[in-house]
Amino acid sequence: MQSVKSGDTVRVHYHGRLTNGKSFDSSEGRPPLEFTVGSGMVIKGFDNGVMGMNVGDKKTINIPVQDAYGPVNPQMIIDFPVDRLPADLNPEVGMQLQMSDNSGQQYQVVVKEVSKEAIILDANHPLAGEDLIFDLELVEIV
């Protein structure tokens, strides 16, 4: 029986959750996730988690912060002046916004705080700073 190795393209069903049990993503009701192992298409811990699995295998993996989306980067917390916002925007805590940097690269931010003078935006990945747990089922090695 063939086991997953680096360079294989695989199809995996998964259920991702935080250490407090809260679900954040699942392939349930969708086609399995397809990716090439070791290519950087998924986080390092997910790549490592499927290594050695055989078709039909199921397992639960624990991915520490450093092998997931990394720690929260304080430099990605932005103090943005309210007077630079579009006039029709009424920011609220938890609101997701799109911004672009000086080179035109777009990225998503989340409003963390709102005051009369500024809003605090977080440009970190929503799962940064979190240890992750995934239930995996290897469906196919393509």
Q: pLDDT tens digits for 18-56? A: 999 999 999 999 999 999 999 999 999 999 999 999 999
Could you give the domains of the chain? 9-70+127-141 (3.10.50.40), 74-122 (2.40.10.330)
pLDDT digits (tens, 9 = 90+) for 91-100: 999 999 988 8
Taking the CB of residue 83, how many other CB atoms lie within 10 A of it?
Answer: 8
pLDDT digits (tens, 9 = 90+) for 78-136: 999 999 888 898 899 999 998 887 888 888 999 999 999 999 999 999 999 999 999 99
Instruction: State pTM to two decimals.
Output: 0.82
Phi, psi angles (nearest 5°) of residue 21: 95, -10
* Model pLDDT, residue 131: 98
